[in-house]
Amino acid sequence: MRNCWESLSAYGLRALGRDYGETLLPRAGDITLCDQIVLIGSGLSWNLYFGMLAIGFGFFLATLLALGKNSTNPLLRRPSSGFIFLFRGSPLFIQFFLAYEAFVLLPRNGIEIDLFFTTITAETRWLTRAWAGALIVLILNTTAYSAEIFHGALQSVPKGDLEAADAYGMTGWRRFRRIVWPTMLRLAWPSYTNEAIFLFHATTLVFFSGFPAWQQSGDSLYYARYLADQTFNPFVAYPIVAAYFVGLTLVIIWIFGAVNRRLNRHLPQQAPRLRYRPQLIR
Amino acid sequence: MFSFCTDPATLPDWQWFACYLTSGTHLAFYWSFGVVLLLIALAAPSALLFGFGGALAARSHVAPVRVLGKTYIAMVRGVPDIIFFLFVPIAIDQGLEYLMHHIRCPDWTQPVRRGAEFAVCAQAKVPLSNAPAWVHDIYSFGLALVAFALVFGAFAANTLYGAMRTVPRAQLETAEAYGMSRRQVVRRILLPQMWIYALPGLSNLWMILIKATPLLFLLGIRDIVYWARELGGSKTSIYAYPHGDWRLWYFLAVLVFYLLLTWVSERVFERLMRRLSRGQATAAGERLRRAAA
């Protein structure tokens, strides 16, 4: 049996790969409570990695997509609406499977791209790995959900604000950057906070959906399930991962609340408090 | 299925596909779509029932009941629902077996949980190990159903609780002024009016419920995801219908199934919303009134 320090050094970074700790995960008779807390905690780094990158990229793509859906040009509006429908209308779980099978079918040696003067080889092998393939799916998914939120907010930008911008002679990029975008963000922020929380929760699906866990390095729920299967006791591992996520949710609400206050700082009344309205799997 | 299917290797393409798509395993695949629909059809009303109980409990004047209701509503907040889907079935299963163990084998001296083992006596297994396969199937489906009802019930409770609080206070006061009892106010004024406020949230829940059904796969049930993986995987020539890796096409079919399901639901909810808005003191109701006038 290990003591807590030994578990920390053995499994603290285990989720990064087997070079960063014990090669083998703890086995049935040899699992301490500290092992469970440490191992699940190290898995949380995958959830953070997926969540933060997906939100980071998704935010900008969603702004573009929302503008596309809001456009009067059908060549922009139709594909944007179609993309949003495709990703919001189907389960994320199926999207993961579909993407994985599609990536597997790509030629293993990479795709030769002929650029007249030279050929480059696009590597495709990493697409079947979770860190890249699943991240792409998560980015596209959160882009669709966030775009729908931003589109709703774009439509409720007060008419007076736009007229005032016109009166000042603002057009194009300047009008968007200084009037439309800040107001859109301000209006969308409470819903966007929910979407962010929702996305972090959705990252737990990655290692259950086709993408294999390379060298047994997976996310927190992957380890929780491993430990629950090994000990045949669901009453320890699952509450631990649940507690981690409650903590993570509180941190997200705190960060997004700070941004919310900044977005609303020019308004006379206090910014509305963010309320987390929980939603489920997509 | 068809009379010409006896030797698939010699068939022309369209006949080969006709036979392939009606093979026994494919029929099981089609049947599993029915299982998904059945789960939705059973989970939605039971979740609504749980939600109703939770919302009423959270409004109760008896403190312990209120705390219970609010705890239930808060339970799934902040925790990914997939954790509940993994946790609830196995927790219930072990709970049942533990209970049965104490009823059927009272003179068993060893502890049930020994190290990494959960050992109950043979008579306490749920279902009994000699039970026919369909009993095991129904049992695991039932556990999944309970997990869905419990998780979605908490969300429905949240929605209904909010809707009950949005019903204009003046309406309830008027009813009280007419001398109605608390019960009568709830039954005659509150419940009929809350639906219009609850519907947007409930329709959202319905969509989410549809999109959560592939998680059945995680609970070890042979659902569409299971069959899509099984059937799509490449088959060598020892199989009657050899083919390459077709999983992509199977998952595309599943994707289209879900897109259709959500698309149809969206249409239905739009109509329902119009129907319920009639005569209500809401923006949509006002618009309907203007359009008619």
Q: Tell whether B74 lies on the interface with A, counting CB pairs under 8 A.
A: no
CA dist., res. A5 & res. B48, Å (int): 47
For residue B218, list chain A residues with Cβ-Cβ distance below 8 A. Answer: 208
Residue A271 lies in a domain: no
Please report the residues numbered 54 through 83 in chain A whose beta carbons come closer than 8 angstroms to any beta carbon of chain B. none
A224-253 burial, b at 16+ Cβ within 10 Å, e below that, comes to bbbbbebbebbeebbebbbebbeebbeebb
**How confident is the model over A195-223, as a mean pLDDT?**
89
**How confident is the model over B215-232, as a mean pLDDT?**
86
**How confident is the model over A205-231, as a mean pLDDT?**
88
Distance from CA of B259 to the nearest CA of A (A): 5
The amino acid at residue B32 is S
CA–CA–CA angle A132, A134, A139 (5° rounding): 90
pLDDT(A80) > 90 = yes
Q: Tell whether B148 lies on the interface with A, counting CB pairs under 8 A.
A: no
Residue A165: CATH number of its domain: 1.10.3720.10
**The predicted structure's pLDDT at residue A272:** 65
Partnered with residue A120 across adjacent β-strands are A113
Q: Tell whether B140 lies on the interface with A, counting CB pairs under 8 A.
A: no
**How confident is the model over A32-59, as a mean pLDDT?**
93
Distance from CA of B46 to the nearest CA of A (A): 17
A219 touches A43 (CB < 8 A): yes
Residue A274 lies in a domain: no
**The predicted structure's pLDDT at residue A273:** 67
Q: In terms of pLDDT, which residue wins out, B111 or B101? A: B101
Interacting residues of B207 by C-beta distance below 8 A, sequence separation 6+:
B262, B265, B266
What is the domain count for chain A? 1
Residue A29 lies in a domain: yes
pLDDT(A277) > 70 = no
Phi, psi angles (nearest 5°) of residue B107: -95, 15
Residue listed under structure tokens 């920390």:
A8
Range of A124's domain?
Answer: 4-263
Interacting residues of B60 by C-beta distance below 8 A, sequence separation 6+:
B66, B69
Q: Tell whether B91 lies on the interface with A, counting CB pairs under 8 A.
A: yes
**The predicted structure's pLDDT at residue A23:** 81
Whether residue A98 and residue B255 make contact (CB cut-off 8 A), yes or no, is yes
Token reading at B129: 């190990």
Provide long-range contacts, Cβ within 8 A and 24+ apart, for B134-139.
Answer: B137/B221
Residue A169 lies in a domain: yes
Chain-centre distance of CA A86, in angstroms? 18
Q: Which of A86-100, A212-226, B23-37 is the most confident on average?
A: A86-100
CA dist., res. A15 & res. A39, Å (int): 8
Whether residue A93 and residue B214 make contact (CB cut-off 8 A), yes or no, is yes
**The predicted structure's pLDDT at residue B47:** 94
User: What confidence category does residue B64 fall into, taking pLDDT thresholds of 50, 70 and 90?
Assistant: very high
**What count of other Cβ atoms lies within 10 Å of the Cβ of residue A105?**
14
Whether residue B155 and residue A282 make contact (CB cut-off 8 A), yes or no, is no
Q: Tell whether A31 lies on the interface with B, counting CB pairs under 8 A.
A: yes
Whether residue B78 and residue A228 make contact (CB cut-off 8 A), yes or no, is no
Distance from CA of A174 to the nearest CA of B (A): 34
**The predicted structure's pLDDT at residue A84:** 94
**The predicted structure's pLDDT at residue A167:** 94
**How confident is the model over A152-171, as a mean pLDDT?**
90
pLDDT(A215) > 50 = yes
CA dist., res. A166 & res. A157, Å (int): 14
Residue A282 lies in a domain: no
**The predicted structure's pLDDT at residue A209:** 84
**The predicted structure's pLDDT at residue B43:** 93
**The predicted structure's pLDDT at residue A278:** 52
Q: In terms of pLDDT, which residue wins out, B76 or B252? A: B252
What is the domain count for chain B? 1
Residue B205: CATH number of its domain: 1.10.3720.10
User: What confidence category does residue B1 fall into, taking pLDDT thresholds of 50, 70 and 90?
Assistant: low
Range of B154's domain?
Answer: 3-292
pLDDT(B82) > 50 = yes
User: What confidence category does residue A224 fall into, taking pLDDT thresholds of 50, 70 and 90?
Assistant: very high
Token reading at B93: 């299963």
| Segment among A200-204, B275-279, B286-290 with least mean pLDDT | B275-279
Name the average pLDDT for chain A: 87
Question: Which ranges of B167-219 would DSSP assign to H, the alpha helix?
Answer: 169-177, 182-184, 191-212
CA dist., res. B124 & res. B121, Å (int): 5
CA dist., res. A267 & res. A186, Å (int): 11
Whole-number percent of chain A with pLDDT over 70: 89
User: What confidence category does residue A211 fall into, taking pLDDT thresholds of 50, 70 and 90?
Assistant: confident
Whether residue B225 and residue A85 make contact (CB cut-off 8 A), yes or no, is no
**How confident is the model over A215-237, as a mean pLDDT?**
89
Q: Which residue of A has its CA nearest to B264?
A: A89
For residue B258, list chain A residues with Cβ-Cβ distance below 8 A. Answer: 89-91, 94
pLDDT in tens, A82-101: 999 999 999 999 999 999 98
B28-39 burial, b at 16+ Cβ within 10 Å, e below that, comes to ebeebbebbeeb
Distance from CA of A173 to the nearest CA of B (A): 34
User: What confidence category does residue A10 fall into, taking pLDDT thresholds of 50, 70 and 90?
Assistant: confident
Determine what percent of chain A falls in helix, strand and coil, rounding each to the nearest 5. Answer: 75, 5, 25
**How confident is the model over B223-229, as a mean pLDDT?**
88
For residue B212, list chain A residues with Cβ-Cβ distance below 8 A. Answer: 91, 280-281
pLDDT in tens, B104-147: 888 777 777 776 777 788 777 778 778 888 888 889 899 999 99
For residue A235, list chain B residues with Cβ-Cβ distance below 8 A. Answer: 91
**The predicted structure's pLDDT at residue A165:** 92
Q: Which of A266-280, B81-95, B188-202 is the most confident on average?
A: B81-95
Collapse the DSSP code of A120 into the 3-class scheme (helix H, G, I; strand E, B; otherwise coil) and give the result: strand
Whether residue A89 and residue B251 make contact (CB cut-off 8 A), yes or no, is no
